[in-house]
Structure 1
Amino acid sequence: MSEKDMQTYFDKMNQANSLLKESLRVNNIESLAETLTDISDGSVYVENGVPDKDTVSKLENIYAEMKKLNLTPLQLKQAITVSIIKAQKDDKAEVNKLMTPDAIGLITSLIAYEVLNVQNKKDVNIVDPTVGTGNLLIEVIEQLNMTDKFNINAAALDNDDALVSLTKSFSEVMNLNLDAYHQDSVADWDITDIDLAVADLPVGYYPIDDNAKNFKTKSDKGHSYAHHLLIEQTMNNLNDGGIGIFIVPSQIFQTDQAKKLSEWMVSSVYLQAVLDLPTSLFASKEAQKAVVVLQKHGDNAKQVENVLMGTIPDTNNPKLFEGFKDQLQSWAKNFKG
């Protein structure tokens, strides 16, 4: 399947999205979620006569043309992610809600793969508690699926209704097994039996002090950092020995609330890796992020002898990146049950 077909698919999706946006009078992300649902269902969803017959007919023609383009899962995902980037740009989406780049998803999936492979896990339940557009979670699932080693069930949580709809419809078009829940992830979860969590955490203060009061990472005064509470909440909800892979600000251990986070980590989890992401992925030093890998106590889990630390090389530098993969493999041997 050619690049040209992928471009055509993207153009058609864009066309459909514009028509739906106008009909439904919603923003680009909401109409994109609806567009993807229609593509997945193979029909146009109509409620109270909206969209009208003329628009439905136009949309049906566009979807029929898209169906003829038999894209590979990888191309399909690329076309959708480019559409998400465009929709967020047009909506002027806030920074915390922007799509996680594929490169970060690839790195996250490599770490997840090496650990799960050593643990010899076949059935894997994954959660993303701050799923946003769904791209991080879907990239991780796709990469793990390509290895043919795991049966994956996934769950997604987010407090933004439009993004939950987008993630659900994105996963349906990709034909993935994913449940999405609209909720505040610092509040109680209904889902259980989770082996692995991946999250690109939103950064900032959590506004509901009453929900934060039961957390060890809460601030002694004023609002607590949402990303600290989310890490604690996620690790609490994992199975014993479960793994959390979190994308966090590089400065996470140098802030005014870092002490509380560090104290909680020492008592409740094993800090197994802290890796700065490639600098080329970020516009400035302030925007730089890192990957933190935590493991919940219990079920044979133990502190690795050497916490994996350093900066991950650029994914576009094959030689250096292969070296990083070798490091990952020897580090992952610590996770043998």
Structure 2
Amino acid sequence: MSEKDMQSYFDKLNEANSLLKKSLKVSNIDSLAETLTNISDGKVYVENDVPNKETVAKLESIYKELKNLNLTPLQLKQSITVSIIKAQKDDKSEVNKLMTPDAIGLIASLIAYEILNVQDKKNVNIVDPTVGTGNLLIEVIEQLSMTEKFKINAAALDNDDTLVALSKSFSEVMNLNLDAYHQDSIADWDITDIDLAVADLPVGYYPIDDNAKNFKTKSDEGHSYAHHLLIEQTMNNLNDGGIGIFIVPSQIFQTDQAKKLSEWMVSSVYLQAVLDLPATLFASKEAQKAIVVLQKHGDNAKQIGNVLMGTIPDTNNPKLFEGFKDQLQDWAKNFKG
């Protein structure tokens, strides 16, 4: 399978998306979600004669061409992610909604794999409470599935209905089983029995103080940080001993609300790792993020003696990155039940 086929897939997907966008008069991301649903269903969804017959015929012919391009799952995913990046750029999407890069998903899945492997888990229920475009969750599912060691069920939540639709249609084209829910993740969840959470958390203030008041990480005055509440809410919803892998601002422990977060962590979860992501992944020092790994109390979980800390080397530096993988393996041995 050549790069040419991937380029061809991207070009045709783009062409189909432009046609549909023009008909539906919606944003690029809205029409991309519907385009992917159509591709997965193998037919064009029509409501009140929109899109018209001529456009439907054109779209069906493009979908057929796309089907004939036999991409591997990874190539298919890459073509779709490039389309998402383009659509978000054209829409000038806000920073909190931008797609999580593959490199971050790869690192999150490595961490998840080492822990789940040591725990000898066969069935894994994963949730992403702030799924966004779906790229982080889908990358983790794909990477874990390639090992052929786990049977994975996945669920996704987000308060943006367009992004929920996109992550669902993205997963359908990838042939993955994903339950997606449009909701505020700081409100009550309907899903239970979760072993693992992965999330690239949106950063900012949470506007509904009435919901925030039930959380230990809430601010004493004014609005609370949404990303603090989301971490607490997610960990509360995991099974005993469950793992949360969170992508957070590197400065998370240095803000005015950090004290409340640290107090909650000390009393309610085990902080097992704090790792700065490679600086090359971010446009500026302010935008830099870290991965925090937390474990819920119960079910043989314990605080690891040496919390894994440091900066993850660039994934493009194989020698250093291999060294990081060795470190990860040693650290993960502590999760043996």
Q: Same fold (TM over 0.5)?
A: yes
Give the equivalent residue in structure 2 for 1:301.
301
Give the equivalent residue in structure 2 for 1:14.
14
Give the equivalent residue in structure 1 for 2:40.
40
Local SS of the residue matching 1:157: strand
**Which amino acid in the other structure matches residue 163 of structure 2?**
L
**Which amino acid in the other structure matches residue 258 of structure 1?**
A
State the alpha-carbon separation in 2 of the partners of residues 331 and 154 from structure 1.
Answer: 26
Local SS of the residue matching 1:241: coil
Give the equivalent residue in structure 2 for 1:51.
51
Give the equivalent residue in structure 2 for 1:237.
237
- Unpaired segments ≥5 residues, structure 2: none
> Deviations 1:222-246 (Å, cap 9, x if unpaired)?
0000000000000000000000000
Give the equivalent residue in structure 2 for 1:180.
180
Give the equivalent residue in structure 2 for 1:163.
163
State the alpha-carbon separation in 2 of the partners of residues 185 and 111 from structure 1.
Answer: 24
The alpha carbon displacement at 1:12 in A equals: 0.4
Query: 1:14-163 residue pairs with structure 2 within 5 A?
Result: 14-163=14-163
2:224 counterpart of 1:224? yes
The alpha carbon displacement at 1:180 in A equals: 0.3
State the alpha-carbon separation in 1 of the partners of residues 140 and 265 from structure 2.
Answer: 25
Local SS of the residue matching 2:121: coil
> Deviations 1:217-271 (Å, cap 9, x if unpaired)?
0000000000000000000000000000000000000000000000000000000
Query: 1:245-256 residue pairs with structure 2 within 5 A?
Result: 245-256=245-256
State the alpha-carbon separation in 2 of the partners of residues 68 and 187 from structure 1.
Answer: 43
Local SS of the residue matching 1:246: strand
> Deviations 1:19-53 (Å, cap 9, x if unpaired)?
00011110000000000001101111111111110
Give the equivalent residue in structure 2 for 1:324.
324
> Deviations 1:105-129 (Å, cap 9, x if unpaired)?
0000000000000000000000000
The alpha carbon displacement at 1:15 in A equals: 0.4
TM superposition score normalised by structure 1: 1.00
State the alpha-carbon separation in 1 of the partners of residues 270 and 71 from structure 2.
Answer: 42
State the alpha-carbon separation in 1 of the partners of residues 65 and 218 from structure 2.
Answer: 53
> Deviations 1:181-202 (Å, cap 9, x if unpaired)?
0000000000000000000000
The alpha carbon displacement at 1:4 in A equals: 0.4
Local SS of the residue matching 1:56: helix
Give the equivalent residue in structure 2 for 1:4.
4
State the alpha-carbon separation in 2 of the partners of residues 14 and 119 from structure 1.
Answer: 43
Local SS of the residue matching 2:280: helix
**Which amino acid in the other structure matches residue 79 of structure 1?**
S
State the alpha-carbon separation in 1 of the partners of residues 214 and 65 from structure 2.
Answer: 53
Local SS of the residue matching 1:67: helix
Give the equivalent residue in structure 1 for 2:211.
211
- Unpaired segments ≥5 residues, structure 1: none
State the alpha-carbon separation in 2 of the partners of residues 289 and 25 from structure 1.
Answer: 36
State the alpha-carbon separation in 2 of the partners of residues 68 and 16 from structure 1.
Answer: 15
State the alpha-carbon separation in 2 of the partners of residues 60 and 290 from structure 1.
Answer: 43
2:327 counterpart of 1:335? no
Runs of 4+ in 1 over 4 A off after TM superposition: none
Give the equivalent residue in structure 2 for 1:201.
201
**Which amino acid in the other structure matches residue 29 of structure 1?**
I
The alpha carbon displacement at 1:148 in A equals: 0.2
Query: 1:282-293 residue pairs with structure 2 within 5 A?
Result: 282-293=282-293
**Which amino acid in the other structure matches residue 32 of structure 2?**
L
Q: How many residues are matched?
A: 337
State the alpha-carbon separation in 2 of the partners of residues 59 and 105 from structure 1.
Answer: 32
Local SS of the residue matching 2:285: coil
State the alpha-carbon separation in 1 of the partners of residues 68 and 155 from structure 2.
Answer: 31
Local SS of the residue matching 1:199: strand
State the alpha-carbon separation in 1 of the partners of residues 102 and 117 from structure 2.
Answer: 22
Give the equivalent residue in structure 2 for 1:314.
314
Give the equivalent residue in structure 1 for 2:266.
266
**Which amino acid in the other structure matches residue 151 of structure 2?**
N
